[in-house]
Amino acid sequence: MKVVTVVGARPQFIKAAVVSHELRKRHQEILVHTGQHYDYNMSEQFFEELEIPTPDYNLGISGGTHAQMTGKMMIGIEEVLMKEQPDWLLVYGDTNSTLAAALAAAKLHIPVCHVEAGARVHNRTNPEELNRICTDHISTLLLASTLSGYEEMAYEGLQDRGVVVGDPMYDAFLEYSSKLSIQNITLKLLAGGEAKVPPVFYYLTCHREENTREDKDLLEIFKATEMLDAPTIYPVHPRNKARALRLQEAYQFGKILLTEPVGYLESACLVKNAKKIVTDSGGLQREAFFAGKKCVTILDFVCWPETMVSGRNELSSPNAEEIIKKLEHEQFVDDTYQPFGDGHSAVKIVEAMEQHYGGGK
């Protein structure tokens, strides 16, 4: 099979790392980077650390409004697809890069394989939800990471094209999360200088459009960190850099370590060693679950229902008192409960594409 894979954002590099290695054992892969994430520590560092093959094309498209970004990407991806004439287009998740690639391919009658299909938050103001719904409806093969994703497909008449393969984020976590030891991590502080990881710490990430429209949400999250019994490490997504620095300076928050984004090996190691986790990231919620760490998610919708059991992951509004209250709730971890597969989803993804090869044209 000849497969064109399109990636563009940090979570997609992680998933592509494990799938690409498996795919290339038997098939030809052409890797396209849209350019959506472009800073060294948001992109190239992941390719280096996870040994992802160098992209065959980098379209250099980033920023702008959703429509500007998606539209420009469609034009660039269409050119690549017309030239390469692949048997499959392979896409991951729910970013603008995912939707642009799927739409360009579907219009050229190239079968689309969507990894992380069926995930729904049931909130259409969430930009990723629109990307997920549209991508699933124009895809040929819908690969769900969990049973709940597969069940969601039934409500939209999609299940006959769906297969449960497990979560490649789980494969990646198993493969990469023990590569570094915490003592060897040096944090690059956003304001300049470096710091070692404190012996006890909380891990925070926050980048969603829902929490970054105004100052007040991040301000509440920072206030919560002041009320905790240990420092909080927050690798700041570029979307929030200026705001995070400004708020820390204005309010002199002393317990939060604002750092540059970290690579995946560092992030996974921080997850494993953190006391507890506060996030709005879809990936980090699952990684907290993989590591058995208590997680509080600052969103008003559920991304991964499988994690919302036994106090393991709880939603909170961006309110300092509520965040602290939820963090204090006990969790119960049952190691036999493994809803994200067996760590071999990359093999199952490639097998599913082989089995459905030719069927979608």
Give the binding site for ligand UDP (CB under 6 A): 10-11, 14, 205, 207, 235, 261-264, 267-268, 281-284, 287
123 is a contact residue toward ligand UD1 (CB under 6 A)? no
Q: How far is the CB of 259 from ligand UD1 (least distance, A)?
A: 15
| Strand 186-188 to 194-196 pairing | antiparallel
Q: How far is the CB of 2 from ligand UD1 (least distance, A)?
A: 26
Q: CB atoms < 10 A from the CB of 207, how many?
A: 18
Nearer to ligand UDP, 140 or 211 (CB): 211
Instruction: Categorise residue 192: left if φ over 0, alpha if ψ from -120 to 50, beta otherwise.
Output: left
Q: How far is the CB of 356 from ligand UDP (least distance, A)?
A: 26
Which residues sit opposite 258 in a β-bridge?
234
Using the Cα atoms of residue 121, residue 149, residue 153 and residue 103 in order, give the sign of their dihedral: positive
Nearer to ligand UD1, 39 or 342 (CB): 39
Residues with Cβ within 8 Å of residue 107, at least 6 apart in sequence: 78
- The whole-angstrom separation of Cα 192 and Cα 25 is 43
Binding at 35: pick from ligand UDP, ligand UD1, none (beta carbon under 5-8 Å per type): none
Binding at 239: pick from ligand UDP, ligand UD1, none (beta carbon under 5-8 Å per type): ligand UD1
Q: Tokens 């002041």 — which residue?
A: 226
- The whole-angstrom separation of Cα 139 and Cα 90 is 10
3-class DSSP state of 244: helix
Contact pick of 39, 214, 321, 334 for ligand UD1 (by CB under 6 A): 39
Q: Which of 33, 114, 207, 237 is catalytic?
A: 207
| Residue 207 among the catalytic residues | yes
Binding at 235: pick from ligand UD1, ligand UDP, none (beta carbon under 5-8 Å per type): ligand UDP
Q: In what order do the strands lie in the sheet with 277-279?
A: 256-259, 232-235, 202-205, 277-279, 295-297, 313-315
Q: How far is the CB of 70 from ligand UD1 (least distance, A)?
A: 9
Site for ligand UD1 in 56-85 (CB under 6 A): 63
Contact pick of 3, 9, 18, 19 for ligand UD1 (by CB under 6 A): 9
Binding at 33: pick from ligand UD1, ligand UDP, none (beta carbon under 5-8 Å per type): none
Nearer to ligand UD1, 225 or 279 (CB): 279
Contact pick of 5, 34, 45, 96 for ligand UD1 (by CB under 6 A): 96
Nearer to ligand UDP, 106 or 172 (CB): 172
Q: CB atoms < 10 A from the CB of 34, how many?
A: 30
Q: Which stretch binds ligand UD1 (CB under 6 A): 88-96, 213-221, 305-313, 332-340?
A: 88-96
Phi, psi at 175, each rounded to 5° = -75, -40
Site for ligand UD1 in 194-233 (CB under 6 A): 207
Site for ligand UD1 in 237-276 (CB under 6 A): 238-239
3-class DSSP state of 26: coil
- The whole-angstrom separation of Cα 331 and Cα 308 is 10
Q: Please give the sequence-ordered ranges of beta strands (E in DSSP) within the chain, or none if there are none.
A: 2-7, 28-33, 57-58, 88-92, 112-115, 141-144, 162-164, 186-188, 194-196, 202-205, 232-235, 256-259, 277-279, 295-297, 313-315
Q: How many CA atoms lie within 13 A of 296 on its CB side?
A: 25
Provide the binding-site residues for ligand UD1, judged by CB under 6 A.
9-11, 36-39, 42, 63, 94-96, 127-128, 207, 238-239
Would you please indicate which residues are annotated as catalytic (active-site) residues?
207
